[in-house]
Structure 1
């Protein structure tokens, strides 16, 4: 498909006009030419006048050299092109005039004057034609310049199509050279009045979808319906094309397919090359700009998700150039409203409409507007390039994204109010990079308010439709959310009661950062990871750094840079790196070490591998590190699952040694109250039982049932 900017070259045309006027000076006045014409007309031979040729669609100049042309304000800017003369060349000096017809698009045809001339090229750079229409005293001028100096002295052959004239008027034309070499040629030509064309009347019968044509008494007429294009009236497609000979005093009904503005009635006499009469009665008819106008248009969709481009090609019965903008629908139904997208006008060239940086989606459409009518056309491919689904796990919403193209996706929680759902901070982002294999991406969003929805969209393009997802809490998810909210309330009450007993003294380590690391292989592990993180954040006031809570930051910076930045911050602020271990962690550790038989550690490509590489280097350089702590849940792991190189780290078994872990994170080991120990153990046991019951029920979605009510650090 060709692309570009409509109207390219207009600036050059106006610039040439200014250059030509400044070079030529003031045009020769038409009145001064009348006296010269009276003297010169008898002196020069008059070439034979050629018959009128085919219709001329626009003003133009043809020459046998590279040329440029300009005219005064009474004429449209003519085009100047190099081309061989349409007829046999004239012998210089010569000036020949003939009658032609000017049929510009969307305007009725009118007679015009065609000018042909021949000049010797030696010593001249341009020429000027002056026109004077006698009777109306309408004067105009035309200038033609040679663009480049050419060797040799081939005579100039120039043809101008053409000077518009009223029928029955006489026109005086004079020619002068630039620079003036004393040559002045004048000719006059009478544009004879055209006889009137065939006469007929018509009646529109909308209920029968026909046009009734009546021929008055007299000669028979050949009548038909046609679609008026730029230069000709094209016949209607089968079976609506009919050309009927109607005797005088009779009438005929002609059916049409669509009522469109360019539908016309044409009548002619039966003999060859007869005069024709044409009427286009629906150009100002509002009914011609309704649904039938768009039914007559064929839309060819060439949109591609791989190029992030929407592209459509129009083929229509009428020469339309509608305006195209983006709009989006909520549902796939033709009657559904389409909401406009601001500043989304598509570019158009030769009926090809394109718009770049678009998330091509079946519900992101083009709205074509023409006059007071519009039509919505959506991409013809029913499947989008990406899909998203939503699952609920406790106080966490999990988005499952699959994409066939590299892209970035963003999501944000929102609350529905009056049919609207505006995104709220923070915004979470995940990316499928260029060159990566297709697969599933995941985003975890904490539920802040029961009944929250999620808006998901592509964030790496300029125009994207936001997809609204709301969790289904009508069935079993309602029970899970109720359990999660109840557990959240228990956590809040428990930690508020115990925070006073555990409040650290001034200067204690209660506010130091904790970097929580885990293995991502175990789905049931995620809920306990988030529960432990919430316990540390709300109970001790620790600033917990967890990738599940900082999906936006991880997506923007990358997994490895994010980890190294957090590790450096923990070291500077004397915080703790908390490594949550599981059987899956053991498997990943063996893979990282190079397989079951050992070997050199592999390069790290994810957070867990980078954490192992970081820990391996620190243990080798400085021995046992005090800011690394390893914990595991007794029901998900055993001491034998901890690799030998990691056993020197301080290790805590949960939930049995949870109070010791909390004391260690505070910087000391005070014995907590027995009531706190029992409540903390009971809380974690209930969380683990809830995880086990959901696994038994077949819920395979991941989530964080103990996630914070407001994720920090995003």
Structure 2
């Protein structure tokens, strides 16, 4: 911006931002005239302070996996502010950011990098220049770990969920009048080992005073903010808790009288020590709710029979590293070595997956599933055992179970009808005997639990559409399987090679 100035015509120079590098240069109009430059605001931080930081562009490069905070600056005046770390107790913009001692950051080409730090939206950069300062927090809002607190009678239950290798510490603290919380020993520590799989770490701390709070922080880095968690001590909450405790004390005598009877029932229903043959559970993922019911059924078998249940949903980390095909074949080899069984859990979606596995397109133009699908891997493994050239295969090595009122015995394709089939919960005792031996028996509660599982499964299927449409599509699919020209899996003399 240029303007001519005379004694009777002063000039007015507009500006966008009042910065310390905003200067005025004056000179005479003739060539090679003397020039004079002044920067009137460079030593007046009270004047340029508000505009200075709004003119700076901040770019965040922080990485929680590498435990590194990094921020790049781009400003008009090429300033070199100092930087340090500070911690906000809350994520609110107006929250005070408390300085962290010995956390000064060195600038490298207008980039500020600090290693061995727990990246958190509340752990921020504090930039300072000539008595002015600015707080800039990491732009990413997600954290590599989070913590939750639940209070019970005289105990604090701490749950830490993380997906990076790290160590965490927790300790009780007492709130002070100024809002600080003074830490009290001992300090409890828990560690997540190497790996990127998300895990839950749990700590149980004694709780002796209602006004006590909890400090939790990451302890394997140099710089980390301490998260403050205080239990809910509202009158309503503790009134309910006191009522529950009183009721529990009143029933204590009755519970003591029932202990011997309960122990007797528990010993009777506990699985025998010889129940050790593993079971590989195969299913088709009809829906997220269906997968939850599969997990529930697997938990029932494990609790009732006391044998290992091999389920991909319980080993997602292992499956992710190996791949579903390699995991399936490895588990089948283990089951074969331990003389266990493969249990194929049949459902309305299984026939459709079976048809797709044979490469048939359905009426909606669907495509065959990916070759790394669990159900497809299981069918390929079964077909390989039937058509192999070495060894013999017992029919009880593979077993089919289906839930009544959801599908029937005739809904299983002809190619698989040579395998033992069991209707649940009616034929549950027979399934238990074939899975764990003729002398085995199911505990009394297993039958009732299986019936409840059937009711839940029916509710899931009804949410998908009217019941008549469900059975119509299911029958249509199975009829196409019966009348199609597919080559059946069965052969005259089935034999079993290794799946690998």
Bucket of the pairwise TM-score, normalised by the shorter protein = 0.5 to 0.7
Aligned to 2:311: 546
Q: Relative contact order (alpha carbons < 8 A, sep ≥ 6): 1 or 2 greater? A: 2
* Contact residue 322 and residue 368 of structure 1 kept, 8 A: no
- The Cα of 1:654 is off from its aligned counterpart by 0.9
Gaps of 5+ in 1: 1-237, 304-309, 356-362, 389-409, 429-442, 450-494, 698-714
Task: Considering fraction of residues, name the structure with more helix.
Answer: 2
Alignment of 1:663 onto 2:433 = yes
Deviation at 1:575, TM superposition (A): 2.4
How far did 1:260 drift? 1.5
Gaps of 5+ in 2: 63-69, 115-120, 152-157, 166-196, 204-261, 363-367, 467-500
Quick check: 1:586–1:642 contact (8 Å CA) kept in 2? Answer: yes
CA 1:686 to 1:298, structure 2 compared with 1: closer, same or farther past 3 Å? closer
C-alpha spacing 1:522/1:447, structure 2 compared with 1 (3 Å): farther
Structure 1 pair 327–533 and aligned structure 2 pair: CA distance change class (3 A):
farther
From 393, 409, 423, give the equivalent of 2:160: 423
What is the CA distance between 1:519 and its match in structure 2? 0.7
Q: Measured at CA, do residues 557 and 319 of structure 1 come closer, stay the same or move farther in structure 2, by a change above 3 Å?
A: same
Cα distance per residue 1:326-371 (max 9 Å; x no partner): 999999986689999xx9x99976x79999xxxxxxx899968453
1:113 corresponds to: none
Structure 1 position 618, deviation (Å) = 1.3
SS of residue matched to 1:587? helix
Residue 645 of structure 1 deviates from its aligned partner by 2.6
Q: CA deviation at 1:655?
A: 1.3
Measured at CA, do residues 293 and 545 of structure 1 come closer, stay the same or move farther in structure 2, by a change above 3 Å? same
CA RMSD of aligned residues (A): 5.5
Quote the residue 1:579 is aligned against. Answer: 344
Normalising by structure 2, we get a TM-score of: 0.53
Residue 570 to residue 681, structure 1, CA distance change in 2 (3 Å): closer
Q: 1:496 touches 1:539 (CA, 8 Å); kept in 2? A: no
User: Structure 2: how far apart are the matches of 1:663 and 1:354?
Assistant: 64
Aligned equivalents of 1:535, 1:686: Cα separation in 2: 15
* In the alignment, structure 1 residue 560 sits paired with structure 2 residue 331: no
- The answer to whether structure 1 residue 615 and structure 2 residue 382 are counterparts is yes
User: What is the Cα deviation at residue 610 of structure 1?
Assistant: 0.7
**Alignment partner, residue 593 of structure 1:** 358
What secondary structure is seen at the aligned counterpart in 1 of 2:23?
Answer: strand
Deviation of the 1:518 alpha carbon:
0.3
* Pairing 1:245–2:15 present: no
- 1:627 equivalent to 2:397? Answer yes
Q: Distance in 2 between matches of 1:496 and 1:689?
A: 34
Secondary structure of the structure 1 residue equivalent to 2:331: helix
SS at match of 1:261: coil
Matched-pair contact (CA < 8 Å) for 2:400–2:421:
yes
- Tell me the CA shift for residue 656 of structure 1: 1.1
**1:635 CA displacement:** 2.3
For the residues of structure 2 that align with 1:536 and 1:279, how far apart are their CA atoms?
A: 85
User: Greater Rg, structure 1 or structure 2?
Assistant: 1
CA distance in 1, matches of 2:281, 2:359: 25
Question: Alpha carbons of 1:265 and 1:602: their partners in 2 closer, same or farther (altered >3 Å)?
Answer: closer
Q: Hey, what's the Cα distance between the residues in 1 that align with 2:460 and 2:97?
A: 43
**Is 2:22 the counterpart of 1:263?**
yes
Q: Secondary structure at the match of 2:401?
A: strand
Query: Deviation digits for residues 365-393 of structure 1, max 9, x if unmatched?
Result: 996845353364988xxxx9xx99xxxxx
Q: Indicate how the Cα distance of structure 1 residues 252 and 582 shifts in structure 2: closer, same or farther if over 3 A, else same.
A: closer
Cα shift at 1:646: 1.9
What SS does the corresponding residue of 1:577 show, helix, strand or coil? strand
* Residue of structure 2 equivalent to 1:570: 335
Cα deviation digits, residues 179-207 of structure 1 (max 9, x gap): xxxxxxxxxxxxxxxxxxxxxxxxxxxxx
1:258-297 CA distances to partner (integer Å, 9 max, x unpaired)? Answer: 3322133444455543333333343333325623013334
Name the counterpart of 2:255.
none
> What per-residue deviation string (whole Å, max 9, x for no partner) do you get for residues 80-135 of structure 1?
xxxxxxxxxxxxxxxxxxxxxxxxxxxxxxxxxxxxxxxxxxxxxxxxxxxxxxxx
Cα distance change of structure 1 residues 273 and 678 upon mapping to structure 2, 3 Å threshold: closer
1:572-604 CA deviation, whole Å, 9 max, x = no partner?
22222211112321121122123289xxx9983
Q: Does the C-alpha gap of structure 1 residues 605 and 274 become closer, same or farther in structure 2, counting only changes over 3 Å? A: same
State the distance in 2 between where 1:696 and 1:591 align. 22
Contact 1:628 1:650 in 2 (8 A): yes
CA distance in 2, matches of 1:659, 1:448: 38
- Corresponding residue number in structure 1 for 2:39: 280
